């Protein structure tokens, strides 16, 4: 059935995104994106080509961010889809002089579109491509790599960061990133607006509505 094939192809695309991004396989990573594809993350918001370039630059400097995936649920309406995938984002870096892993749990919320012309480029994904990837940040934690070490965090600074990704934001701002402070979290107006955006997309709306 076409519906089953679409579900499988979307899932494969999402898995390829994570594997190719984390492996630094930038040429294949570029194939999962729609020409107008946009990435929204704590540290970057913009078109997919710029995202690939800054990711490549970070990779070459030793920046390491890993993605682990859980289950996927996709709603499909013709040549459009909204997929949600359980995931964790892990970043390792020095936090106040102590090497730490920050693990953030949430969901990838993806708007996708099928374009038959892409079948010639990458038939594995059945023409599906990412128009928007917006993570939803639900909860996070920070762990020292050496269990005997203990970073001393600035409590006031930590409290001022968004609850769903405060440790990730703490690490990233400490590295000099400009972190977006109003990303969707488990509840609240930002995630409700994202759900409305997804519903509108399935009914023919614009990805940036």
Locate 26 and state its tokens.
């930038």
Residue 129 lies in a domain: yes
How many structural domains comprise the chain? Answer: 1
Domain span at 104: 2-190
Residue 195 lies in a domain: no
In this predicted structure, the answer to whether residue 80 has a pLDDT above a threshold of 60 is yes
Q: What pLDDT is stored for residue 41 in this prediction?
A: 97
Please work out, in degrees rounded to the nearest 5, the angle formed at the alpha carbon of residue 175 by the alpha carbons of 170 and 178: 75
Entry pTM: 0.94
For the chain, the average pLDDT equals 94
Q: Mean pLDDT throughout 20-49?
A: 97
Residue 167 lies in a domain: yes
Q: Mean pLDDT throughout 140-157?
A: 94
CATH code of 90's domain:
3.10.450.50
Residue 41 lies in a domain: yes
Q: Mean pLDDT throughout 89-94?
A: 96
Residue 133 lies in a domain: yes
Question: Residue 81 — very low, low, confident or very high, per pLDDT cuts 50/70/90?
Answer: very high
Residue 205 lies in a domain: no
Residue 115 lies in a domain: yes
């Amino acid at each position: 059935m076409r519906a089953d094939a679409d579900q499988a192809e979307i899932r494969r695309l999402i898995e390829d995104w994570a594997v190719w991004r984390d492996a630094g396989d930038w040429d294949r990573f570029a194939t999962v994106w729609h020409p107008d594809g946009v990435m929204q993350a704590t540290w970057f918001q913009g078109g997919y080509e710029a995202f690939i370039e800054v990711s490549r630059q970070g990779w070459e400097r030793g920046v390491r961010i890993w993605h682990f995936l859980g289950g996927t649920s996709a709603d499909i309406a013709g040549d459009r889809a909204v997929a949600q995938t359980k995931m964790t984002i892990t970043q390792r870096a020095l936090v106040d002089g102590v090497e730490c892993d920050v693990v953030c749990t949430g969901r990838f919320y993806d708007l996708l579109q099928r374009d038959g012309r892409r079948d010639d480029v990458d038939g594995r994904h059945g023409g599906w491509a990412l128009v928007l990837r917006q993570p939803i940040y639900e909860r996070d934690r920070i762990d020292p790599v050496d269990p005997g070490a203990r970073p001393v965090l600035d409590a006031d600074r930590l409290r001022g960061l968004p609850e769903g990704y405060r440790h990730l934001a703490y690490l990233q701002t400490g590295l000099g990133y400009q972190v977006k402070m109003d990303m969707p979290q488990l509840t609240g107006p930002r995630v409700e607006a994202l759900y409305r955006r997804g519903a509108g997309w399935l009914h023919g709306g614009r990805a940036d509505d």
